[in-house]
């Protein structure tokens, strides 16, 4: 079973949204599981503090290396990678989520305050991951985003595996526009081609739309798509 362990100062925030909808059902059916470790349990003082002032001065507080080290070492990793959510990490991608979903799970370390003593990173095998170029107050929401991105790809969690194949980022492109009833909404009709019943024309139209949307909205992805070609990438191989 795919397993996520989250090290956090706020275990009460979990599972939160990870318990809703298909993910909640996936957990109930035994496809994946989540547990938390309260970093404060590893505090060495009666106040339960886990942070201290930054060496060299400056604003805020930094999470202590000795306390985080003890919290990390208390976990049975079972070959699961340890990821730390941090704005300075590598941007999370669908490709990375696919690779993580194909493995045994992950351990996620959530920062708070000004961040984490650098020696935690240099003394442990930690992959630093960011969910975007902005700063959150803590790593918990970022960890939820990471776990959700992975868990929905764990076999059995989503009912229809076919819906995964045409999603944004599959094959290097964003998704085509979707429509459903009503046939007309405030003067806007569903494109005729989608009502034609001609599967080849529909597939061609969607393919064109994917390319156009990617080209105009995400030139970075489009450039990479042009360089890689339309071949679906090997999920375990990092794209160029
Ligand atoms: N001082 C840090 C910096 O400038 O990079 C920001 C610390 S932030 C206030 C506290 C914690 O929130 C971080 O340690 C990290 O765990 C989490 N966090 C904030 N933004 C994040 C992001 N974009 N991606 C992942 N985690 C983030």
Q: Which pLDDT does position 230 carry in this prediction?
A: 58
- DSSP assignment of 141-188, as one string? HHHHHHHHHHHTTSTTSSS-THHHHTSTTGGG-PPPP---S-SEETTE
* Percent of the chain residues past pLDDT 90, beyond the cut: 90
Ligand 1 binding pocket mutation candidate from 86, 96, 121, 142 (most atoms within 8 A of CB) = 86
Give the integer Cα–Cα distance in Å for 69 and 49. Answer: 15
Block residue for tokens 């995400």 = 218
Where are the domains positioned within the chain?
2-151, 165-235
Span from the CA of 136 to the centroid of ligand 1 (angstroms): 5
DSSP 40-101: GGG-SSTT---EEPPTT--SS-EE-HHHHHHHHHTS--TTPPEEEEEEEEEEP-HHHHHHHH
Q: How confident is the model at residue 235 (pLDDT cuts 50, 70, 90)?
A: very low
62 burial (CB, 10 Å; 0-12 / 13-18 / 19+) is buried
Rg of the chain over Cα atoms, rounded to whole angstroms, equals 21
Give mean pLDDT, residues 148-169. Answer: 85
More confident residue, 2 or 238: 2
pLDDT at residue 220 is higher than 80: yes
Token output for 46: 């009666």
Atom of ligand 1 nearest to the CA of 132: 23
Ligand 1 mutation target, pool 10, 62, 91, 135, most atoms within 8 A of CB: 135
Instruction: Give tens-digit pLDDT for 67-89.
Output: 999 999 999 999 999 999 999 99
Average pLDDT over residues 189-193: 98
Amino acid 166: pLDDT:
77
Q: The domain 2-151 belongs to what CATH superfamily? A: SPOUT methyltransferase, trefoil knot domain (3.40.1280.10)
Mean pLDDT of 4-25: 98
Atom of ligand 1 nearest to the CA of 134: 23
- How far, in Å, CA of 147 to CA of 4, rounded? 7
Residues 88-119: tens digit of each pLDDT: 999 999 999 999 999 999 999 999 999 999 99
Residue 138 in contact with ligand 1 by CB distance below 6 A: yes
Tell me the CATH number for domain 165-235.
1.10.1270.20
């Amino acid at each position: 079973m795919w397993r996520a362990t989250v090290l956090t100062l706020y275990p009460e925030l979990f599972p939160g949204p990870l318990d809703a909808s298909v993910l909640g059902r996936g957990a109930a059916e035994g496809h994946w599981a989540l547990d938390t470790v309260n970093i404060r349990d590893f505090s060495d003082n009666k106040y339960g503090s886990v942070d201290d002032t930054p060496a060299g001065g400056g604003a805020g507080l930094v999470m202590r290396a000795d306390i985080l080290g003890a919290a990390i070492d208390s976990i049975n990793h079972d070959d699961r990678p340890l990821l730390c959510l941090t704005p300075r990490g590598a941007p999370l991608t669908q490709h990375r989520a696919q690779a993580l979903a194909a493995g045994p799970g992950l351990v996620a370390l959530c920062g708070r305050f000004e961040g984490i003593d650098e020696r935690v990173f240099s003394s442990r095998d930690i992959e630093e991951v960011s969910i975007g170029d902005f700063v959150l107050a803590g790593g918990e929401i970022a960890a939820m985003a990471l776990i959700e991105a992975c868990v929905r790809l764990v076999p059995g969690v989503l009912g229809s595996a076919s819906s995964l194949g045409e999603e944004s980022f599959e094959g290097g492109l964003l998704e085509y526009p979707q429509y459903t009833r009503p046939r007309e909404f405030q003067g806007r009709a569903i494109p005729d081609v989608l009502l034609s019943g001609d599967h080849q024309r529909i597939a061609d139209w969607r393919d064109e739309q994917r390319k156009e949307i990617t080209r105009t909205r995400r030139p970075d992805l489009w450039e990479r798509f042009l360089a890689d070609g339309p071949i679906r990438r090997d999920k375990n191989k990092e794209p160029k």
